[in-house]
């Protein structure tokens, strides 16, 4: 189980999920991360890149996964979200990611341009990232109230 709560709004959904079942691993992207430039920290605006939260349970429960899938499917916000699982090769467990469904929708289009879906959205639909970051806050509240 992680030893600290994520202070960033973008990572709060991971805190909520971890309250239900301990996480072995977690990751998310920040809207305004602190980056090192010439040995000084500066705030970088990454709001054009859609948010995601990724995690792996210490002990995965099909009941919790199904509940998360149902909540994400039933959520009615500005954008549609998905819970995507990736079974780890030669290792136990599944890495799960909650991300905008638009990532899946434009995957082949992005691939045709030699881009990852996130890169495509950042370049061709930069306003989508800000909308998704705002909607992630509402999705987080919805899941917190219903999980």
Q: Tens digit of pLDDT for each residue in 4-34?
A: 899 899 999 999 999 999 999 999 999 888 8
Question: Residue 38: how many CB atoms within 10 A of its CB?
Answer: 5
- pLDDT value, residue 38: 87
**What was the pLDDT predicted at 111?**
96
The residues, ordered by sequence, that sit 6+ positions from 118 with a Cβ below 8 Å of its Cβ are: 49, 50, 103
Residues 125 and 132: their CA atoms lie apart, in Å, by: 11
Quickly state the pLDDT bin for 2 (edges 50, 70, 90).
low
Each residue's pLDDT tens digit, 89-138: 888 889 999 999 999 999 999 999 999 999 999 999 999 999 999 999 99
């Amino acid at each position: 189980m992680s030893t600290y709560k994520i202070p960033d709004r973008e990572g709060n959904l991971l805190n909520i999920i971890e309250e239900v079942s301990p996480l072995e691993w977690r990751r998310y992207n920040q809207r305004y991360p602190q980056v090192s430039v010439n040995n000084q920290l500066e705030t970088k605006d990454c709001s054009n890149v859609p948010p995601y939260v990724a995690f792996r349970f210490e002990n995965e429960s099909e009941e919790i996964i199904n509940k998360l899938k149902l909540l994400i499917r039933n959520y009615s916000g500005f954008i549609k979200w998905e819970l995507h699982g990736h079974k780890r090769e030669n290792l136990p467990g599944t890495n799960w990611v909650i991300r905008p469904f638009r990532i899946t929708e434009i995957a082949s289009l992005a691939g045709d341009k030699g881009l990852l879906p996130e890169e495509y959205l950042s370049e061709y639909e930069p306003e989508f990232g800000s909308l998704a970051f705002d909607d992630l806050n509402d999705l987080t509240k919805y899941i917190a109230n219903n999980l």
